[in-house]
Structure 1
Amino acid sequence: MDHPIVGILHPGSMGAAVAACATVNATSVLWCPAGRSPATAARAKQHGLESVPELGELLDRADIVISLCPPAVAEDLAAEVGSHGFGGWFVEANAIAPERTKQIEDLLYPGAKAVIDGGVVGSPPVDGKTATLYLSGRAAATGRIEALFSGTAVRTRVLGTAVGQASALKLSYTSFQKASRILAALAIGVAREHGVDQELLDIAAKRAGSYLAEPEYIAKTAARAWRWGPELKEAADVLAAAGLPPEMLHAAATTLARWDDVKDDSELTLTDALNRLAQP
């Protein structure tokens, strides 16, 4: 299967761009327009995907199927694939919890040759941008997906043989990357309400790094939780007064409370802090 036939379900902005990269090493990349919007059809055409009228035809022809759909419908789509008796390689690349990915594996395997867990990190791979497709699952299966994207703007990295690892990494990253953007919106919103938004941006510009890349800071955060929690509750009140949602900061204060018993503990390690966070 040097040049497989690939099916993509369903080509949104990320899915279509990933599918376009797959065309480099595939005989063809199929998609089914049934129930999809005109915008999706235009995107698929732009990326050179081949339209087939029915999902059943796509599944009959495809060696590899990649599922990139809204997370809420991942199981429903997998069940539909399973009901057609798909017997190829299924890449579950949606942003869903590891437990859901394992349920999809149970749903499709052993009817399918393998279910490969996938997680896409990065922007849609167009206009010189790249994305990384993290993979986990049976080695022979992940190897096929690596070969499919070899030499393209979709980089692949295999994490291991356990289905769920790629999903866990994707959602670990999402929990910080997307939530941090919401926090930025709240911070800028309340600063703008008080006419100090430019000063806030000036402060932020002095720090270019990411706390996600500095895990050693977690223990310091834990040791300061006793005073940071009340501070965040005050900040939540300010958000509410500005008409902004305060729930995220209330939740953060509640999270910090799990570290209340390590007040100013300079000997606290990262492992200790994470253990206390997981098992209060």
Structure 2
Amino acid sequence: MDQPTVGILHPGSMGAAVAACAAANASEVLWSEAGRSTASTTRAAEFGLTPVAGLPELLDRSDIVISLCPPAAAEDLARDVAEQRFTGVYVEANAINPERAKRIAALLEPDAVVVDGGVVGSPPVRGKTPTLVLSGPAAATERIEALFAGTAVQTKVLGTEIGKASALKLSYASFQKTSRVLVALAVGMAREHGVDQDLMEIASRRTDSYLSEPQYVTKTAARAWRWGPELEEAADALAAAGLPPEMLRAAAATLARWHHAKDDSELTLTDALNRLAQP
């Protein structure tokens, strides 16, 4: 099979790294410069992505398009693509709930073939090997498996039903991301009473506990602007299944207190906990 041309929407830290992996088995990986920041331009250049003037050109030249953007923008972005009557494979790889994935598929079909996806793990840089879970038409998921074959992005096909990949992504995110929020609350409470070091001593006896990694709280704070909406999506999925969503909504509300710490790599643990206590 000829190497496809791939388009990435939009190359954030995860999207750019995933797109760079796709480049190993693609003839070219495109991204649209229109309306994007200087940081996006720099990041895309670092990962060797090819700029095009706008979305119409990207869609016209691409065989496969991968959507990796903040959850809140996923549907609007898909609507923009649908208006251009894109006819290739559209990988909806955002952290959205299964019902939204199905709505997006309905927007794009029958012109495009839609694959539901979700990235589980950290961006594929510095030895990280995330898994791209996939569900959708077999021929299309096979093309995506081939696209990432031999790269740092592993793939796992869950079947042909749109929504399965999104469900697995959010099921994992529900535990993983909420657990990080609970670490911040536990350490914050312990610090208030002067027993934070004692808490760490107890937690260190369980090396599989997030409580033994308090330094991760600063990373959680810096990523809260993305994680909060993701947990809201997971909460919607729980509600749709008749399960209580309050825990995840509460975690999202906690993350919102860190909104102004967006991508702050200089944040300390003390700063993060202070912002949590006094937003």
Normalising by structure 2, what TM-score?
0.75
- 1:27-38 to structure 2, matched below 5 A, reads 27-38=27-38
Unaligned runs of 5+ residues in structure 2 are 211-245, 252-279
Q: Distance in 1 between matches of 2:249 and 2:95?
A: 26
How far 1:191 moved relative to its partner? 0.5
Helix, strand or coil at the partner of 1:141: helix
1:6 aligns with 2:6: yes
1:109 aligns with 2:112: no
- Identify the residue that residue 173 of structure 1 maps to in structure 2: 172
Give RMSD over aligned pairs: 1.8
Assess if the C-alpha contact under 8 Å between 2:174 and 2:248 holds in 1.
no
Q: Distance in 1 between matches of 2:180 and 2:22?
A: 30
- Identify the residue that residue 209 of structure 1 maps to in structure 2: 208
Identity across matched positions, percent: 70
How far 1:83 moved relative to its partner? 0.4
Unaligned runs of 5+ residues in structure 1 are 212-246, 253-280
Whichever residue aligns with residue 77 of structure 1, its letter is: L
- 1:103-182 to structure 2, matched below 5 A, reads 103-112=103-112, 114-182=113-181
- Of 143-152 and 195-204, deviating more is 195-204
Q: Distance in 2 between matches of 1:88 and 1:22?
A: 16
Deviation per CA, 1:73-107: give whole Å up to 9, x if none: 11100000010110000000000000000000000
Count of residues in correspondence between the two structures: 216
Deviation per CA, 1:29-81: give whole Å up to 9, x if none: 00001111111110000000000011100000000000000100111000000
Assess if the C-alpha contact under 8 Å between 2:119 and 2:133 holds in 1.
yes
Q: Distance in 1 between matches of 2:90 and 2:8?
A: 10
Distance 1:248 1:134, change over 3 A: closer
1:62 aligns with 2:62: yes
Whichever residue aligns with residue 189 of structure 1, its letter is: G
How far 1:2 moved relative to its partner? 2.8
- Identify the residue that residue 72 of structure 2 maps to in structure 1: 72
How far 1:248 moved relative to its partner? 5.7
How far 1:129 moved relative to its partner? 1.2
Helix, strand or coil at the partner of 2:118: strand
- Identify the residue that residue 219 of structure 2 maps to in structure 1: none
Helix, strand or coil at the partner of 1:66: strand
Distance 1:126 1:35, change over 3 A: same
- Identify the residue that residue 100 of structure 2 maps to in structure 1: 100
Q: Distance in 1 between matches of 2:155 and 2:247?
A: 34
How far 1:210 moved relative to its partner? 6.0
Assess if the C-alpha contact under 8 Å between 2:32 and 2:58 holds in 1.
yes
> Any runs of at least 4 consecutive aligned residues in structure 1 with deviations exceeding 4 A, and if so which?
247-252
Q: Distance in 2 between matches of 1:209 and 1:189?
A: 20
How far 1:176 moved relative to its partner? 0.6
Q: Distance in 1 between matches of 2:13 and 2:154?
A: 17
Q: Distance in 1 between matches of 2:106 and 2:248?
A: 38
Assess if the C-alpha contact under 8 Å between 2:90 and 2:114 holds in 1.
yes
Helix, strand or coil at the partner of 1:123: coil
Q: Distance in 2 between matches of 1:16 and 1:176?
A: 26
- Of 124-133 and 58-67, deviating more is 124-133
Whichever residue aligns with residue 61 of structure 2, its letter is: R
Larger Rg: 1
Helix, strand or coil at the partner of 1:23: helix
How far 1:249 moved relative to its partner? 11
How far 1:209 moved relative to its partner? 3.2
Normalising by structure 1, what TM-score?
0.74
